[in-house]
Structure 1
């Protein structure tokens, strides 16, 4: 292995992004493996009380200047108006508010004109809507509680309330009219579409039923989505994400470019700066609700220069624009091209990666097996 001499990393310790996890849902979808639960009496109040205490701890520990806030879940839009007001107030009073983008994940069945206007008045300006399909049979199979008409109305109401709107689609569902779904969602006027392959995760209802997704259906969904959305004016900028010009998710770009972000709430993951020698960052995942309410906070995973680089490659190679290796070298303190010369040569020869002008990008073939490509860096 070629030895390299690390330089002092150039990492800005300011945290500019915040993810808040709201675990409550009206019902649990059979494919979902996120930390979610249906609400019970007193749980939301206890959640908000503990959220406030956790926000105060984060404020005291880090230098924070937020550019984006993302309320995810779960179903944040399931919160009642007073609960949403309190949640936003907790964030604003303790951590600030996003100067560029503030996103609310929305279940179509929770939207009305009045609620959309209320969310907008609180300073939320982007909505990520769990449409999943515009075919009623597909929605029933996926266990969604809304129908296609409700999804269309929800998107329209949010646009009328002056939200930037993103719609989620699930692909590779047997019998799904995928091209109709794509054209239908694009035609509603959304600026962003996230298209995710149906994945059967252990412990979910679909896994207990023994359902499987064929590689053929997965590939077809992958290819059809890219082709049709391209024809409709959406550019792919990440493996599963497409946007009209200027419609990219600024918050999610922080993940894909390995920036620091706060994780607030049960089940939330955070990526934090570290002041310990030889440690560039810490990753912390909060425990689930009951343990979180009992005071557990999650053990930090300390990230040194090499782990920082492989994390950045794993996320950044998902982006069509790829990774600027000189910038990554400055941030990590490692000469990335020298340290991973053998791996780079091997993957370039295999045609999974392209290196042009100091920018490393995955090819179409490389994106399909990206986990394997990054494993080569981990082992290299």
Structure 2
């Protein structure tokens, strides 16, 4: 069985106002952390034999900002993971910030087997980038795409955000148009979220910013879908669009119930029957690993939980929920629970799959909630 490997790099040069992921600005700990990652791989290869022998299909370095790592640390990580968890690796993705992109760094990544770059652009408007406390400019983001291609990595994904305070549809259309002019293979787009505990959330609570209204959100999302479709992008997941043949293989495994292993502070793993996650504290993570113990918690996944997990992952995709993958009991429950959504046109039944319609995309959370088992 194939599996994906995720490696969490929690370091950032600065924190963005919206970020709710586990990260730290203490980059001076990066070399020690790298050694802890290698040690965790070794420890888990001995204790998790059920996953260790599986064929590694994809490797994804996310964060944080993996591109803040020195290339020597990146080399140690990538060499070691493929030594300990070998396989026919089809895709190696590294997340990068535009201001970290240099010909030398990208060329070095390519020599290590990296064949996909996921770049956090967010916006091509310098004022909005400043609002987010991003370190790069719009021009740097545009130049970074060219630099990556010139260094020999052709598979580029860029992240965009919409729904900024005071942003209008013309602003958003310009961002999309600029992104399209760069011809990325893949685009991920997300509405700006106000996650509790972030500086942005505090700004909202203090009345310093105001969320966009629902009608504006719907118009922005519709515009995104239509413009990308017109330029040949496949809308294969709620927030993800790809040129033919360029879906994210790694992320697609999450939505297709494929086992994966996560290494590093706060990283999650899944083997089909158990979900586990490392502690989200950098110091405690390193101390535990250095002491020879794995700093992870876990939960066993029963049949009902697995069904709910399938609903919240598979229903995000264009293929939808495969009813044949369900037990008879859960299949009956899914069809019964979908009755109202099928009648109101937010779900359709196609080739024994329940999937969201265009109308359903805009109320996906509600639709999925209706399908889930209440325990």
Could you state the TM-score of these two structures normalised by the residue count of structure 2?
0.90
Query: Which string of whole-angstrom CA distances, capped at 9 and with x for unpartnered residues, describes residues 211-245 of structure 1?
Result: 34222332222111111111122121111111111
- 2:148 is the alignment partner of 1:155: no
CA shift, 1:49, in A, is 1.7
- 2:45 is the alignment partner of 1:46: no
Matched residue of 2:271: which SS?
strand
CA shift, 1:366, in A, is 2.6
Query: Which string of whole-angstrom CA distances, capped at 9 and with x for unpartnered residues, describes residues 270-318 of structure 1?
Result: 1124xxxxxxx11112112122123262211111122112211111111
Taking a change above 3 Å as real, the CA distance of residues 152 and 97 of structure 1, as seen in their structure-2 partners, is: farther
2:286 is matched with which residue? 293
Match of 1:78 among 68, 71, 82: 68
User: Contact 1:199–1:213 at 8 Å: present in 2 too?
Assistant: no
Following superposition of structure 1 onto structure 2, how do residues 104-183 of structure 1 map, counting pairs within 5 Å? Answer: 104-163=94-153, 164-173=155-164, 174-175=166-167, 177-183=171-177
1:218 is matched with which residue? 217
Greater alpha carbon shift after TM alignment, 299-308 vs 115-124: 299-308
CA shift, 1:40, in A, is 4.3
For 1:59 and 1:217, the matched residues in 2 are separated by 49
CA shift, 1:175, in A, is 2.8
Taking a change above 3 Å as real, the CA distance of residues 35 and 98 of structure 1, as seen in their structure-2 partners, is: farther
Total equivalences in the alignment: 355
Query: Which string of whole-angstrom CA distances, capped at 9 and with x for unpartnered residues, describes residues 24-69 of structure 1?
Result: 011100000100111243x112211211121113322122211111
User: Contact 2:12–2:27 at 8 Å: present in 1 too?
Assistant: no
Greater alpha carbon shift after TM alignment, 153-162 vs 206-215: 206-215
1:321 is matched with which residue? 319
Greater relative contact order, per chain length (Cα 8 Å cut-off, separation 6+)? 1
User: Contact 1:172–1:220 at 8 Å: present in 2 too?
Assistant: no
Gaps of 5+ in 2: 289-293
Taking a change above 3 Å as real, the CA distance of residues 40 and 357 of structure 1, as seen in their structure-2 partners, is: closer
User: Contact 1:197–1:221 at 8 Å: present in 2 too?
Assistant: no
CA shift, 1:320, in A, is 1.4
Taking a change above 3 Å as real, the CA distance of residues 135 and 47 of structure 1, as seen in their structure-2 partners, is: same
CA shift, 1:98, in A, is 5.5
- 2:369 is the alignment partner of 1:379: no
2:291 is matched with which residue? none
User: Contact 1:238–1:318 at 8 Å: present in 2 too?
Assistant: yes
User: Contact 2:11–2:27 at 8 Å: present in 1 too?
Assistant: no
- 2:353 is the alignment partner of 1:367: no
For 2:318 and 2:180, the matched residues in 1 are separated by 21
Matched residue of 1:21: which SS?
strand
CA shift, 1:181, in A, is 1.2
- 2:258 is the alignment partner of 1:283: no
For 2:328 and 2:12, the matched residues in 1 are separated by 44
For 1:40 and 1:294, the matched residues in 2 are separated by 17
CA shift, 1:97, in A, is 5.5
1:4 is matched with which residue? none
Taking a change above 3 Å as real, the CA distance of residues 36 and 334 of structure 1, as seen in their structure-2 partners, is: farther
Taking a change above 3 Å as real, the CA distance of residues 34 and 84 of structure 1, as seen in their structure-2 partners, is: same
Could you state the TM-score of these two structures normalised by the residue count of structure 1?
0.89
1:198 is matched with which residue? 192
- 2:102 is the alignment partner of 1:102: no
User: Contact 1:50–1:293 at 8 Å: present in 2 too?
Assistant: yes
Matched residue of 1:217: which SS?
helix
Matched residue of 2:35: which SS?
helix
User: Contact 2:13–2:27 at 8 Å: present in 1 too?
Assistant: no
User: Contact 1:351–1:365 at 8 Å: present in 2 too?
Assistant: yes
2:240 is matched with which residue? 241
Following superposition of structure 1 onto structure 2, how do residues 251-290 of structure 1 map, counting pairs within 5 Å? Answer: 251-273=250-272, 281-288=273-280, 289-290=282-283
For 1:340 and 1:319, the matched residues in 2 are separated by 17
Matched residue of 2:296: which SS?
coil
For 2:299 and 2:345, the matched residues in 1 are separated by 33
Query: Which string of whole-angstrom CA distances, capped at 9 and with x for unpartnered residues, describes residues 154-203 of structure 1?
Result: 11111122221011101111336211111111111211100111001001
User: Contact 1:16–1:261 at 8 Å: present in 2 too?
Assistant: yes
1:3 is matched with which residue? none
